[in-house]
Amino acid sequence: MQHISQLTTYIYLLVFLAMATVAWTGCVRKPPSKTKEQVMQEKLAERLQRWYADLEANCNRKVMERAAAIVDSTLLADARFKRDTSDLPSIPGRPEKPAFTPPSDSTPIKPILGTKGDSLK
């Protein structure tokens, strides 16, 4: 009989501890939930952050493209400037125009085909 009374004591103790645990967890305050306005503000902040990141990436891309174009043109100009042209002959000037005298034509002018007169007569 002593075992049964000891067993009931343990059961009562277990029930008491279970009820105390439930009561203790019920007393803990739940964190307040977010309002619709707070959720909208968070979403807006995320969208603005993404927009700024995209804007910065686009600006960086344009700057890099422009810098690459400037560097390429500078390298080409430098290469053209440093090209060694000392062993090439210089371009000759234009020759002077010779004096032209037309030949004298002493042959008389006459028709190529002879005219016999009017063929309808």
d(CA 22, CA 32): 21
d(CA 39, CA 45): 10
pTM of the model: 0.40
pLDDT per position as a tens digit, 42-82: 999 999 999 999 999 999 999 999 999 999 999 998 888 88
DSSP H stretches of helix in the chain: 2-27, 36-82
d(CA 59, CA 67): 12
d(CA 94, CA 105): 32
